[in-house]
Amino acid sequence: MTLRRLVRPLLYLLLLLLAVFYLLPVYVLLVTGLKSFAEVNLQTMWNLPSGLHLDNFREAFDKLWPHLKNSLLLTLPAAGLSAALGSLNGYVFSKWRFPGADRIFGLILFGMFIPYQSILIPLVQFINSIGLYGGLPGLILVHIIYGIPITTLIFRNYYATLPTEIVEAGRIDGAGLLGIYRWLLFPLSLPGFVVVLIWQFTSIWNEFLFAIILTNPSHWPVTVALNNLAGSQIVEWNVQMAGALLAALPTLVVYVVLGRYFLRGLMAGALKG
């Protein structure tokens, strides 16, 4: 018991120190972002700002707004469509397992792990040949297709937790494949949709490789624009910091509000891969 009393404060101390490590970059991003241009100085980067100044955020916002908009126009339809597709696939792969379904599912799953460098050259050629190179529709298509493995996996695992009796009951009542989905499974799918939508929203918003290769500068999503900002010699580091915070904000808000579901998506890829 005495040992416990001694150990507890030590555990807290350790946890607090570790928490400081995780929050350090956020602290720097925040205090730098909130300084006035006059106070920004690399040598005083750990000091608190003298007040709440929005100069950095304003300038970063001006530079990044078109790209934040691109990211929204990219992420929302891509996440929505790939969730819808994943739901239908997951339904079939969990409740209507045709001969060979499991083997095919395994082959689909492999697509989740491949390094995209191994398909990049044909992909660029293909997107170019159908006239979608440079803009957002091509990138949306690519995210939907390469999102099929993870969205199918999450929905398949989710529907597997729903009793098969639902399907049997639907059949007895005369409903077919689509009717059972529409009237019985779909209304129960909300948790699955939340997990998949959050997962796809976060990964597509944060994605960089496809975006930098398939879009031209006016259609860059925010990750590419931010990287460009950070590589530029002209843009001050304080504006870069504010920009990083702006680019991270949407997914952070989703995480804070719906973290539980975010965690579930995270585990889905690992535990039942």
Among 110, 187, 190, 233, binds another protein (CB under 8 A): 110
Does 51 interact with another protein (rule: CB under 8 A)? no
User: Of the candidates 101, 122, 113, 196, which has an alpha carbon nearest to the alpha carbon of residue 154?
Assistant: 196
Does 72 interact with another protein (rule: CB under 8 A)? no
Residue 176 C-beta: closest distance to another protein, Å = 6
Does 234 interact with another protein (rule: CB under 8 A)? no
Does 34 interact with another protein (rule: CB under 8 A)? no
Segment near another protein (CB under 8 A), from 50-58, 59-67, 183-191, 227-235?
Answer: 227-235
Does 19 interact with another protein (rule: CB under 8 A)? yes
Q: DSSP labels for 13-59?
A: HHHHHHHHHHHHHHHHHHHHHTS-GGG--GGGTTSPPSS---HHHHH
User: Of the candidates 109, 236, 258, which has an alpha carbon nearest to the alpha carbon of residue 190?
Assistant: 258
Interface size with another protein, residues (CB under 8 A): 91
> Contact, 215 vs 134, CB < 8 A?
yes
Segment near another protein (CB under 8 A), from 14-22, 55-63, 130-138, 182-190?
Answer: 14-22
Among 73, 84, 132, 230, binds another protein (CB under 8 A): 230
- Pick the closer one to another protein by CB: 118 or 216: 118
Segment near another protein (CB under 8 A), from 5-13, 61-69, 128-136, 184-192?
Answer: 5-13
Q: What are phi and psi of 100, to 5 degrees?
A: 85, 0
The strand pairing partners of 47, in sequence order, are: none
Does 148 interact with another protein (rule: CB under 8 A)? yes
Q: How far is 130 from 111, CA to CA, in rounded Å?
A: 22
Does 123 interact with another protein (rule: CB under 8 A)? yes
Q: How far is 52 from 238, CA to CA, in rounded Å?
A: 14
Does 145 interact with another protein (rule: CB under 8 A)? yes
Task: Give the contact letters, 170-209, x = binds to another protein (CB under 8 A), - = no.
Answer: ------xxx-----------------------x--xxxxx
Contacts of 53 (CB under 8 A, 6+ apart): 34, 35, 36, 37, 39
Question: Would you call 243 exposed, middle or buried from its count of C-beta atoms within 10 A (0-12, 13-18, 19+)?
Answer: buried
Segment near another protein (CB under 8 A), from 57-65, 98-106, 130-138, 185-193?
Answer: 98-106
Q: What are phi and psi of 181, to 5 degrees?
A: -65, -50
Angle between helices 222-231 and 190-206 (to 10 degrees): 30
Does 158 interact with another protein (rule: CB under 8 A)? no
Identify the residue whose tokens are 């490590």.
21
> Contact, 155 vs 172, CB < 8 A?
no
Among 122, 129, 190, 234, binds another protein (CB under 8 A): 122
Does 130 interact with another protein (rule: CB under 8 A)? no
Segment near another protein (CB under 8 A), from 20-28, 60-68, 132-140, 188-196?
Answer: 20-28
Does 217 interact with another protein (rule: CB under 8 A)? no
